[in-house]
Amino acid sequence: MLLPLLLRPPLCHAQASGLFTGCVRMLHCGAPQGLRFQAEKFLQRRRPHRLHARGRSRRSQNQEEEWRSRNKTVLTYIAAAGVGMIGLAYAAVPLYRLYCQATGLGGTAVAGHDTEQVATMTPVKERVIKVTFNADTHASMQWNFRPQQTEIFVVPGETALAFYRAKNPTDKPIIGISTYNVVPFDAGQYFNKIQCFCFEEQRLNPHEEVDMPVFFYIDPEFDSDPRMARVDTITLSYTFFEAKEGQKLPLPGYSYN
Amino acid sequence: MSTAMNFGSKSFKPRPPDKGAFPLDHFGECKAFKEKFMKCLRESNYDNSKCRLQSKDYLECRMDHQLMAKEPLEKLGFKDLMDPPPSQADKDSKP
């Protein structure tokens, strides 16, 4: 690589464009110059000149080495910083998720409620909450879907049962799949469903009518949360969509479990 | 639904149910229990605490007819409604 540079020394004196290329050229040009000086040193055999030449070549060699080592350390630092930035970018995803779960920012669900607590929880009888029910269907969904009770009074820590009814008035079987929503959003994290009919395909034959139960409870910690102190009504809203044959829908919240 | 895209806005994230989905009761096997439960609710002004026995009966019907995975009733929150164990009942019946 040094050969073309050796053969074209005049290029060293050419105006370099850009600081970096100039620096590189200086580095590369420094080498043949140093070599040339060494060659001269051996050919001329003039002591004072030789000493002088050696001193000069050594100084320039030292300078070159200094520059080289300094450049190497700077480059190493820059490379380390770059790798560090990329690593931070990857680490930021789980770290941010942990931060959100710890502070509850952005309405993220509190890290997984304990499913065993159903057996051990005690109802908080003083706090009565009204749960209202809402039922919707997508515009192209032809089922008749409605709740069988408009509201129900529950207390936190007590399991409750509620019913919806769905009827398929058409002459062909329709497969539906539903999702739900809870308002207020903050209360949604305390609303735990033990079993329901959502997120799985439900098939109704022509002119068939079924009862769809929802078995749920409100976490007893609802009563001790200061943000929930003024919440008296929770609305549970289900929406049914029509599912195509063989369609696989991703289960929501799967990645958070 | 949660369509607001701004950072820091509260959004709702639906969670799957703990024990999965109820299979549909196509043949209406537990309809009678459901009717009893709904009647109880209407009479008690939609107070759930008063109708827990009927909801327990409905869920037991579902379990008997393979419409729900069999679970001990404590796991469904009916610890206070369960019958006492047979040994205690024997003791009570033999004063």
Same domain, A59 and A174: no
pLDDT tens column, B4-62: 566 666 667 778 888 888 888 888 888 899 999 999 999 999 998 888 889 889 988 98
**Predicted local confidence at residue A252, as pLDDT:** 59
Q: Are residues A46 and A117 in the same domain?
A: no
Alpha-carbon distance of A118 to A113, in angstroms, equals 10
Q: Are residues A42 and A118 in the same domain?
A: no
- Total domains in chain A come to 2
In sequence order, the 6+-apart residues with CB closer than 8 A to the CB of A140 are A242
**Which chain A residues contact residue B12 at CB under 8 A?**
107, 181-183, 185, 188
**Cβ of A215 and B76 within 8 Å?**
yes
What is the arithmetic mean of pLDDT over B65-89?
A: 73
The pLDDT value recorded for residue A1 is 57
Q: Angle A99-A251-B2 (CA atoms, 0-180°, nearest 5)? A: 60
10 Å CB burial of residue A122 (0-12, 13-18, 19+) is exposed
Residues A113 and A54 both lie in one domain: no
Q: Nearest CB to A180: which of B14, B34, B47?
A: B14
Q: Which chain A residues contact residue B33 at CB under 8 A? A: none
Taking the domains of chain B in order of start, what are their residue ranges?
Answer: 30-81
Distance from CA of A232 to the nearest CA of B (A): 14
Q: Which residue of B has its CA nearest to A128?
A: B47
CATH number of the domain bearing residue A204: 2.60.370.10
ipTM: 0.78
The pTM score is 0.62
Q: Is the pLDDT of residue B91 over 50?
A: no
Instruction: Please report the pLDDT score of residue A255 as a whole number.
Output: 44
A256 contacts on B by Cβ (under 8 Å): 13, 15
End position of a domain, from candidates A64, A80, A113: A64
- Decide if A200 touches B, using CB distance below 8 A: yes
- The verdict on residue A247 lying in a domain is no
Contact residues of B toward A, CB < 8 A = 1-2, 7-22, 24-26, 28, 31, 34, 37-38, 41, 45-49, 52, 55, 58-59, 68, 74-79
The pLDDT score that the predictor gives to residue A186 is: 82
In a shared domain, residues A183 and A133? yes
Q: Domain range holding A186? A: 105-242
The residues in A 50-109 lying below 8 A from B, measured between CB atoms, are: 105-109
| pLDDT at position A147 | 92
Q: Considering only alpha carbons, which residue of chain B is nearest residue A183?
A: B12
Residues A110 and A59 in one domain: no
Same domain for A117 and A176, yes or no, is: yes
Report yes or no on A73 lying in a domain. Answer: no
CA distance linking residue A100 with residue A106, whole number of Å: 7
Chain A residue nearest residue B69, CA to CA: A195
Chain B nearest-CA residue for A175: B24
How far, in whole angstroms, is CA B59 from its chain's centroid? 5
Residues A11 and A122 in one domain: no
Query: Residues A110, A192: one domain?
Result: yes
Q: Which residues of A192-229 are buried (b: 16+ CB within 10 A; e: fewer)?
A: bbbbbbbbbbbebeeebebbbbbbbbbbbbbbeeeebe
Whether residue A210 lies within 8 A of chain B, CB to CB, comes out as yes
pLDDT of residue B89: 43
Residue A132: C-alpha distances to residues A234, B21, B30 (Å): 6, 21, 24
How far CA A194 is from CA of A118, A212, B32, in Å, comes to: 9, 14, 22
The residue ranges of chain A whose pLDDT is under 70 are: 1-34, 44-55, 104-115, 245-257
Asked if B58 lies within 8 A of A252 by C-beta distance, the reply is no
- Judgement on whether residues A114 and A223 belong to the same structural domain of the protein: yes
Among A33, A64, A95, identify where a domain stops.
Answer: A64
Asked whether residue A38 falls in the same domain as residue A114, the answer is no
Which of A64, A90, A113 lies at the terminal end of a domain, its last residue? A64
